[in-house]
């Protein structure tokens, strides 16, 4: 992707930066993929858009600086990288298990699929019809959390495990783009952990389940062979910075409050789906 395309596409990145179409393809920002338009809630100011039907983040250029927030990735000869390698080996044993199927589902950041990863932990279905403000909140914060990783990603250009070992991932169609997109920090993890923290704000009674699911969402990148453990940990740090910065944004605060109010009337998720998800989560909690 040319730099000028990136700047035209996102308009919140420095001109020299490289944006992952895999990461933000969920909002059609680069690839032009279809996005289910969120119905505009009544009496709400118009939402800025990256392109028609694709909502922008809340923070614009006021993103936390991931290069300042996280240390360099582990040196290949360090004990920290040896730990990354050991966790990589363990995670790959889960690829052909139900946990691997969940990891593949978690890799898909396209809407309306992506928010449904948190339905069971939240105890409510997240859809543009049932929870329009929450749905929009998750679309917009995907942009903020994902873009917040790129100062460090672009600086370090850390090699991903599937490239390092000449292996495959759970999403072969994304591999060409992932090869040119830095591994450190993990953008998927930053998005998932940011979503988990926001959903705790919206539904504090579900704190434990939501944060456990957010943790698993990031660890799915280990199972998918797309990230190292150090990438996951750094992604959570960037997410914490993004979440903290969002608290001072009036539009974000208003959307959180609106999401709390609309959640009460939202339907519960399918119990069968939640039973299956619980079984898929079980192996990783005792392993990684």
Query: Which range of residues forms the domain containing residue 73?
Result: 3-285
Segment 249-263, tens digit of pLDDT: 999 999 999 999 999
Grouping H, G, I as helix, E, B as strand and the rest as coil, residue 54 is: strand
Pull the structure tokens for residue 43.
């009496």
- Can you give the pTM of this predicted structure? 0.88
119 in active site? no
pLDDT in the model for residue 28: 46
CATH classification at residue 45: 1.20.144.10
Question: With bands split at pLDDT 50, 70 and 90, how would you rate the model's confidence at 44?
Answer: low
Segment 119-177, tens digit of pLDDT: 999 999 999 999 999 999 999 999 999 999 999 999 999 999 999 999 999 999 999 99
Number of domains composing the chain:
1
Q: Check residues 30 and 123 and name the one with the higher pLDDT.
A: 123
Q: Which residue in the list 174, 181, 231, 255 is annotated as catalytic?
A: 231
Residue range 264-282: average pLDDT?
92
Pull the structure tokens for residue 86.
């050991």
pLDDT in the model for residue 184: 98
Pull the structure tokens for residue 159.
């090699």
Q: Check residues 178 and 284 and name the one with the higher pLDDT.
A: 178
pLDDT in the model for residue 1: 32
pLDDT in the model for residue 281: 84
Asked if residue 285 has pLDDT above 80, the reply is no
Residue 168 is classified by DSSP as -
Smallest Cα–Cα separation from 88: which of 219, 190, 260?
A: 219
Asked if residue 51 has pLDDT above 90, the reply is no
Segment 55-76, tens digit of pLDDT: 999 999 999 999 999 999 999 9
Residue range 29-53: average pLDDT?
60
Percentage of residues of the chain with pLDDT beyond 70: 82
Q: Which residue in the list 158, 227, 236, 280 is annotated as catalytic?
A: 227
Question: With bands split at pLDDT 50, 70 and 90, how would you rate the model's confidence at 54?
Answer: confident
C-beta of residue 200 within 8 angstroms of C-beta of residue 66: no
List 126's β-bridge partners, or say none. Answer: none
Residue range 210-227: average pLDDT?
97
C-beta of residue 173 within 8 angstroms of C-beta of residue 217: no
pLDDT in the model for residue 39: 52
Q: Which residue in the list 188, 206, 213, 236 is annotated as catalytic?
A: 188
Q: Which residue in the list 151, 158, 213, 221 is annotated as catalytic?
A: 221
- Cα-Cα-Cα-Cα dihedral sign, residues 32, 173, 273, 118: negative
C-beta of residue 228 within 8 angstroms of C-beta of residue 161: yes
140 in active site? no
188 in active site? yes
164 in active site? no
pLDDT in the model for residue 280: 86
């Amino acid at each position: 992707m040319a730099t000028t395309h990136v700047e035209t596409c996102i308009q919140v990145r420095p001109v020299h930066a490289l944006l992952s179409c895999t990461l933000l393809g969920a909002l059609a920002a680069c690839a032009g993929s279809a996005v289910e338009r969120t119905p505009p809630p009544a009496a709400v100011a118009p939402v800025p858009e990256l392109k028609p039907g694709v909502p922008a983040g809340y923070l614009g250029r006021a993103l936390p600086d991931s290069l300042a927030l996280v240390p360099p990735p582990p040196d290949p000869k360090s004990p920290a990288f040896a730990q990354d390698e050991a966790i990589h080996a363990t995670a790959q044993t889960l690829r052909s298990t139900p946990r691997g199927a969940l990891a593949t589902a978690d890799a898909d950041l396209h809407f309306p699929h992506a928010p449904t990863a948190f339905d069971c932990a939240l105890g409510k279905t997240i859809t543009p019809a049932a929870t329009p403000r929450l749905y929009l909140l998750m679309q917009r914060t995907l942009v903020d959390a994902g873009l917040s990783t790129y100062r460090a990603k672009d600086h370090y250009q850390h090699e991903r495990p599937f490239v390092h070992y000449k292996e495959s991932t759970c999403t072969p169609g994304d591999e060409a783009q992932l090869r040119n997109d830095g591994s450190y920090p993990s953008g998927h993890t930053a998005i998932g952990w940011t979503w988990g923290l926001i959903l705790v704000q919206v539904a504090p009674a579900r704190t434990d389940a939501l944060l456990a699911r957010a943790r698993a969402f990031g660890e799915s990148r280990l199972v998918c062979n797309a990230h190292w453990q150090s990438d996951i940990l750094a992604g959570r740090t960037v997410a914490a910075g993004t979440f903290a910065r969002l608290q001072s944004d009036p539009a974000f605060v208003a959307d959180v409050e609106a999401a709390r109010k609309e959640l009460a009337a939202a339907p519960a998720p399918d119990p069968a789906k939640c039973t299956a998800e619980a079984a898929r989560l079980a192996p990783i909690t005792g392993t990684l």
